[in-house]
Structure 1
Amino acid sequence: MTNFYFIRHGKTEWNLQSRYQGAHGDSPLLPESYHEIELLAKFLAPVPFVHAYASPIKRARTTAECLVKDLPGDVPLTLDSRLREFDLGKMEGMKFTKVEEKWPGVEQNFHYHADRYDEKIVDGESFPAVIKRMGKAVREYARDYPDDANVLIVSHGAALNAGINGLLGVDLAHLKDRGGLSNTSTTILTTDDADHFRLKVWNETDYLHKTKVDPTDTI
């Protein structure tokens, strides 16, 4: 059995501002995000990881590098462009509210109604395309590590939500039925054959010890 620990990157300046970052936009991690990565490392410390994979986009790469450094042992880290965030085209760098003003329905559909999202409006990437590339990467890792292995994956909120639900066989219309994924969260899937996946944990963040909900933490 292979266990996959999916981590959303630490919170960034644009996350806090409710801006789309996408595959080409980016912004620095907030100062407090480094502390939250340390808390995540303490939570994951008992798990012996055989390998870590991360999106090469800086916010995810930095999260992965800090996390691996704080984990016990020597966990190899590989960057894989298939784990990158959605290409959001013209939306990248824009605030959510501005996108909704310019292209009515696009922001709501991207966040809550994937089956209605038309990526052509913003010259972006489709949900099926992201699900396909994310799924191909994870299944490849599962075949590489088939025997009682723990694999770490650091990626992005929207891509992880689409990719994880794709592995679970969830229809586009229901991608958000479980809610979103928070910054520095952990979601765990298991598989015995690299084809069929089971959900074990969704969006775990208790180790961050947050006392109030900030809606900008979750997408």
Structure 2
Amino acid sequence: MRRLALVRHGQTDWNIQRRYQGWEGLDLNEVGRTQAREAAEHLRRLGAALGAEWSWLTSSTSPRAMQTALIVGEHLGLVPHDLQHADLRERGFGVAEGMLIEEARTRWPTREYPGGESVEAVLDRALRGLDAVALAHLGLDGVLVTHGTTLRLVVGHLTGEDPGSLPNGAIAVIEGEPGAWRTIVHPSGTTTSERAHRR
């Protein structure tokens, strides 16, 4: 049974400013680089506790995710896969990208932003992306660096409960097969044993 560790990227300046980043190409700041190193150590401990051997590493196509993956890889002795996955990007926020989150939510209280993606579309592509990554690494445990909303939606789908806002560097571990995943390490740090959700 394979295991996938899903890691939220490290901090950027827009995280501090509480701006929607979406598909924008921002770099990690110094705190973000430290968080990536800490995530690598957390992954090392999780791997030992779960009996998982992290043998591959990839990320979304966003620079902040790729930079996080590079730092994680340096500490785990892994080289990020050449092919990053657009399906695992952050939600596209359309015209709200770059805006202060509170300002955007005031202007669009339903959080459906002009030119942006729906949460249903993000979840659908994220699950499709997870399945594709797993199929490309049959039977192998691996690490995938993704984004806050993407990670929150996947965990919420698998557990039936919205985990809420997740910190930079948060990690979830799922296990199973494409189309039948379950969360075994919640990004809050709680180990869970939900039944697999099939789609």
Q: TM-score range by the shorter chain?
A: 0.7 to 0.9
User: Quick check: 1:3–1:189 contact (8 Å CA) kept in 2?
Assistant: yes
1:86-140 superposed Cα distances (whole Å, 9 cap, x missing partner): 110011000012113322x13xxx4xxxxxxxx3x42211112111111111112
Aligned to 2:166: 181
- 1:59-98 → structure 2 map (5 Å cutoff): 59-72=64-77, 74-77=78-81, 78-98=83-103
How far, CA to CA, are the matches of 2:31 and 2:20 in structure 1? Answer: 20
Which 4+ runs in 1 deviate beyond 6 A? none
Unaligned 5+ runs, structure 1: 111-118, 206-219
Displacement of 1:155 in angstroms is: 0.8
The 1:42–1:100 alpha-carbon spacing in structure 2 relative to 1, beyond 3 Å, is: closer
Displacement of 1:169 in angstroms is: 7.0
User: Is the partner of 1:86 in helix, strand or coil?
Assistant: coil
TM-score, reference length from structure 2: 0.82
1:197 to 2:196 alignment: no
- 1:34-49 → structure 2 map (5 Å cutoff): 34-45=33-44, 47=47, 48-49=53-54
Aligned to 2:151: 160
Displacement of 1:82 in angstroms is: 1.1
User: Quick check: 2:91–2:117 contact (8 Å CA) kept in 1?
Assistant: yes
1:151-200 superposed Cα distances (whole Å, 9 cap, x missing partner): 1110110112123433x274xxx5x2x32321011111110x32221111
Q: Which amino acid aligns with 2:171?
A: T
User: Is the partner of 1:5 in helix, strand or coil?
Assistant: strand
Count of residues in correspondence between the two structures: 183
User: Is the partner of 1:203 in helix, strand or coil?
Assistant: coil
Unaligned 5+ runs, structure 2: 48-52, 190-199
The 1:101–1:7 alpha-carbon spacing in structure 2 relative to 1, beyond 3 Å, is: same
Aligned to 1:3: 3
Q: Which amino acid aligns with 2:95?
A: K
Q: Which amino acid aligns with 2:91?
A: F
Aligned to 2:126: 134
Displacement of 1:26 in angstroms is: 3.7
User: Is the partner of 1:7 in helix, strand or coil?
Assistant: strand
1:64-93 superposed Cα distances (whole Å, 9 cap, x missing partner): 111112213x44423111111111001100
RMSD, matched Cα: 2.2
Displacement of 1:33 in angstroms is: 1.9
How far, CA to CA, are the matches of 1:10 and 1:165 in structure 2? Answer: 21
